[in-house]
Amino acid sequence: MKQLPKDWVNANICAVHKKETSHLSNYQCISFTSIPCKIIEGFSRDHIMKHFTDNNLFNNNQYGFLKGRSTMSQLLRIMDEWTEYLESGGQINVIYADIGKTF
């Protein structure tokens, strides 16, 4: 198995200040990686996405990183489905979970 050069997989990480106060949660980490590595990753991603799209391997419920299928599209779709279901006398139970990072 071939390996990438260490310079391509190492990243310089920089903390960028987001808000006025100096609390740790107000910093966002940004990593700067190798440009050749980013180019190769782009080609690989494009090839994989084309394969999945051409072979209909994505589920109709897949949103978030597909072109034209944003998380906003998902929200609008589910709201339409819930509205239709409620108007026909149905009941909907929903559980929300916030799994965001906290520092």
**Do 40 and 5 share a structural domain?**
yes
* Same-domain status, 51 and 77: no
48 plus 26 within the same structural domain: yes
pLDDT at residue 90, rounded to an integer: 95
Single pTM value for the model: 0.54
Distance CA 43, CA 4 (A): 15
42 and 71: one domain? Answer: no
- Cβ density class 39-74: b for 16+ within 10 Å, e for less: eeeeeeeeeeeeeeeeeeeeeeeebeeeeebeeeee
Do residues 7 and 29 both lie within one domain? yes
pLDDT tens, 23-35?
777 888 888 888 8
Q: How far apart are CA 102 and CA 46, in angstroms?
A: 33
- My answer on whether 49 and 71 are in the same domain is no
Same domain, 36 and 74: no
Which structural domain range is residue 102 located in?
60-103
